[in-house]
Amino acid sequence: MKDPVQESAGDWRQVFGALANEETRRYYAQQVLGVDSDLLPNRQAKAQQNLANAGLLDGQGQVDDLVFARLLAAGARREPQTGNERFFDDAGRIDRYPRKHEERLGLLRVVAAKVLRHGQRLTEAELTSKLEKFTDDPVLLRRYLVDYGMLLRQPDGSAYRLADGSD
């Protein structure tokens, strides 16, 4: 899901891409300075289209003076997250695994509690499917949950359950 602030601000990669082209950059500078372009008409039209696509020119072909302010505001750092939430991205997926043992245990407890309920048993396929909501590597996450004692695995691998004494 896109951030509406970022969407309205444009994409900094498009801005850099447009300004990386020498002719487009020269045309933009001429527009900012208010001087006539020295580009051929077809090159001028192409530069104008590139700048408009990047959000550097508005719909009327005028310089958008606020584009850089919007891009900077969209990229501004948010307040640092604390606790286990700092290991999840905005979509609720694991961003990184903590290095410290206690922090990793905390993260895995959170995931285990979101995936399984007290007394519930899941097959390997069901568990893997649920873990895909948290990571691109659900098999590694499943292994961590078992290795760190959050989940118990049937000896034959047929089912998993919380290691909370809910036999």
Which pLDDT tens digit goes with each residue over 21-73? 999 999 999 999 999 999 999 999 999 999 988 889 988 888 988 888 888 87
User: CA 121, CA 166: separation in Å to the nearest integer?
Assistant: 10
Where do the domains of the chain lie, and which CATH numbers do they carry? Answer: 4-74 (no CATH), 83-162 (1.10.10)
pLDDT at res. 80? 63
5: pLDDT strictly greater than 60: no
pTM: 0.53
Statement: residue 94 has pLDDT above 50: yes
Q: Report the side by side order of strands in the sheet with 160-162.
A: 121-122, 160-162, 151-153
Which residue, 155, 147, 162, 156, is CA-closest to 115?
Answer: 162
Q: Does the pLDDT at position 2 exceed 50?
A: no
**pLDDT value at position 11?**
76
Strands 151-153 and 160-162: antiparallel
Average pLDDT across the chain, whole number: 86
Tokens for 3, please give them: 């951030």
CB 109 within 8 A of CB 73: no
